[in-house]
Amino acid sequence: MDAKILIHVEQLYRYYGHHPAVEDVSFELALGEVLGFLGPNGAGKSTTMQMITGNLAPSAGQICINGVDLLDAPGLAKAGIGYLPEQPPVYRDLTVDEYLYYCARLHRVARNQRGPCVSRAKQRCGLSGVDRRLIGNLSKGYQQRVGIAQAILHNPAIVVLDEPTVGLDPNQIRDIRNLIRELGENHGIILSTHILPEVQATCSRVQIIHRGRLVFSEHMAELERRLAGHALILETRAPLEVETLQQLPGIDNVTALAGNRARLHFDTTSPAEAVAACVASQGWGLVELALDRQTLEQVFIDLTCSDATAGNETGAAA
């Protein structure tokens, strides 16, 4: 059975004058999914998130939140969203409890439900021991927790987190990542970040936006298979011959690299044994023969540093 679709975005555009900040963006977010939303500065990432959360009107396109059209019924649609901006919208001169009860009123939580909702949000975010402390006296990590607590206070189906771990120490980052994974079990999460290892540690799907257009969208399991790669890196003591390697069974093509090195691309089964035998028979002297593993950083750079990116789209979300 397919998971429930919480966000449906279709052909979304946003223009500033004649400049398209977001152009023809379409994707979906399902219940139980943590979507990593990546892009370089100025790519249209924040603009897209502001449109999804109802803080910015699109120039064209449709946004449905939990089956409700955001433009037709903005109040009802936005009630299903929790949002943590990059700068947490906390009031430093309030205690944690004062702030969360205030947010419960803003979220229109019924009076008799505010106490249980606040208690549940504090428990999930690890705030039970600081409920009477001034927010301004809390560490950056705890202020981030308070920001996430206000975003999930009304138990929204969708939680949008913009750079939730910026400025945190490694222990705080680990705690926030664990919280995001936990939230992803019962919500749909959109996580915007520049920290690529964070995406691999917490997300079930990744999208990359560049110059206002989606240029990459894959589930993490598919991405991991892609990153494993179908290529070998070969280094020898003596100069190697590309033409000889090209003739080996299972080799698709060979790319010469600097020094006595080459990248050998193959289709399915690794030809490592045949390559090693070839090197020995030719007397080249084997120095290295290893699987060439690509990284998410390399994928990101390849897609966002090319002038021809717009023509290399990988496809819309599944």
Q: What percent of the chain has pLDDT over 90?
A: 62
Quick one: angle between helices 220-228 and 296-304, nearest 10? 90
Q: What percent of the chain has pLDDT over 70?
A: 94
- Of the three residues 181, 216, 251, the one that is the final residue of a domain is 216
Q: What is the pLDDT of residues 90-121, one digit of tens each?
A: 999 999 999 999 999 999 999 999 999 999 99
Looking at residue 167, its pLDDT comes to 76
Per the CB < 8 A criterion, the answer to whether 97 and 138 are in contact is no
Q: Which has the higher per-residue pLDDT, 42 or 135?
A: 135
179: its two tokens: 């919280």
- Specify if 60 maps to a domain: yes
Q: Does 263 lie in the same domain as 114?
A: no
Residue 294 has pLDDT above 90, yes or no: no
Q: What is the pLDDT of residues 210-259, one digit of tens each?
A: 999 999 999 988 887 767 677 899 999 999 999 999 999 989 889 898 88
Looking at residue 30, its pLDDT comes to 94
231: its two tokens: 């290529």
Q: Does 103 lie in the same domain as 245?
A: no
Per the CB < 8 A criterion, the answer to whether 52 and 25 are in contact is no
Q: Does 252 lie in the same domain as 105?
A: no
The domain that contains 55 carries what CATH number? Answer: 3.40.50.300
Cα–Cα distance measured from residue 65 to residue 158, given in angstroms and rounded to the nearest whole number: 8
What is the average per-residue pLDDT within 144-157?
Answer: 93
What is the average per-residue pLDDT within 148-157?
Answer: 94
The domain that contains 260 carries what CATH number? Answer: 3.30.70.100
Range of the domain at 257: 230-291
Q: Does 240 lie in the same domain as 139?
A: no
DSSP per position, 203-226: -SEEEEEETTEEEEEEEHHHHHHH
Looking at residue 136, its pLDDT comes to 96
- Specify if 277 maps to a domain: yes
DSSP code for 238 = S
Cα–Cα distance measured from residue 199 to residue 163, given in angstroms and rounded to the nearest whole number: 11
Q: Does 208 lie in the same domain as 279?
A: no
What is the average per-residue pLDDT within 129-133?
Answer: 92
Q: What is the pLDDT of residues 46-55, one digit of tens each?
A: 899 999 999 9
Q: Does 182 lie in the same domain as 41?
A: yes
The whole-chain average pLDDT of the chain stands at 89
> Full-prediction pTM beyond 0.85?
no
Q: Does 238 lie in the same domain as 144?
A: no
Pairing type for strands 251-257 and 286-291 reads unpaired
- CA proximity to 242, closest of 225, 228, 222, 256: 256
Looking at residue 3, its pLDDT comes to 79
107: its two tokens: 């979220």
Q: Does 31 lie in the same domain as 127?
A: yes
Q: Does 56 lie in the same domain as 166?
A: yes
Residue 85 has pLDDT above 60, yes or no: yes
Residue 311 has pLDDT above 50, yes or no: no
- Specify if 248 maps to a domain: yes
Q: Which has the higher per-residue pLDDT, 267 or 45?
A: 45
Q: Does 200 lie in the same domain as 246?
A: no
The pair phi, psi for residue 235, each rounded to 5°, is: -130, 135
The pair phi, psi for residue 44, each rounded to 5°, is: 110, 5
Q: Which has the higher per-residue pLDDT, 34 or 224?
A: 34
The percent helix, strand, coil of the chain (3-state, each to 5) is 35, 30, 35
Alpha helices in the chain (DSSP H): 45-52, 74-78, 96-106, 111-125, 140-152, 170-183, 196-202, 220-228, 242-246, 272-282, 296-304
Q: Does 238 lie in the same domain as 114?
A: no
Q: What is the pLDDT of residues 153-190, one digit of tens each?
A: 999 999 999 888 877 888 888 888 888 898 898 899 99
Looking at residue 253, its pLDDT comes to 87
- Specify if 316 maps to a domain: no
Looking at residue 313, its pLDDT comes to 40
Q: Does 262 lie in the same domain as 184?
A: no
Looking at residue 317, its pLDDT comes to 37
Residue 275 has pLDDT above 90, yes or no: yes
**Looking at the 3D structure of the chain, how many domains does it have?**
2
